[in-house]
Amino acid sequence: MIGEIIREIRQNVNMTQDEMAQALYVTRQAVSRWESDETTPNIETLKQISKMFGVSLNRLLATAQSTDAPTAEINADRFIGFADVYESSRPTVPAHAIEIITDYLGKTPDTVVDMGCGTGLSTRAWSGKCGKVVGIEPSDDMLNIAKAKSGSSASFVKAR
């Protein structure tokens, strides 16, 4: 598993979790969760780990992809406890974005699917501007905010 490799390469250079976290600009808890295979670093962080320790990115990626946990679950877990922060820092959808897309299509779409809808910002923007809008999101925390903010104007599906 990727956690074992991260722990092994970190320990081989006598680096603490705190030191690794500081070098990667993440929390010590993030490093701990990687090493216990609770979560997996994103691709940019894997690149930094590869460069920092002189380990092939292919080795890290091959290990990450062979994990038993589904990718959507791994990605969704990265946002546990952060959905409120994510929602409060998101910008609004530009006023003309939907108009531009509708003009390009030459019609009002029957159905819009917002893949990885997060807290539903784009999903809400399409509500009332198409026949049906569906938000798809793997994170329960994100999905709960999307549903609460959108009411019944959109439907939501948990990605699996």
What is the domain-level CATH number for residue 152?
Answer: 3.40.50.150
Q: How many domains does the chain have?
A: 2
Which of 17, 38, 69 terminates a domain? The answer is: 69
My answer on whether 65 and 107 are in the same domain is no
- The arithmetic mean of pLDDT across residues 17-28, rounded, is 94
Q: Long-range CB contacts (< 8 A, 24+ apart) of 87-96?
A: 87/118, 87/119, 87/145, 87/149, 90/118, 90/119, 90/121, 92/121, 93/121, 93/122, 93/125
* Distance (Å, whole) CA 160 – CA 26: 27
**Tokens 């600009």, residue located:** 25
pTM score over 0.75: no
Does any domain span residue 80?
A: no
* Distance (Å, whole) CA 156 – CA 137: 8
pLDDT above 80 for 139: yes
Q: What is the mean pLDDT of the chain?
A: 85
pLDDT above 80 for 129: yes
pLDDT above 90 for 104: yes
pLDDT of amino acid 89: 80
pLDDT of amino acid 71: 58
My answer on whether 37 and 93 are in the same domain is no
Does any domain span residue 122?
A: yes
Which of 69, 99, 120 terminates a domain? The answer is: 69
Domain range enclosing 40: 2-69
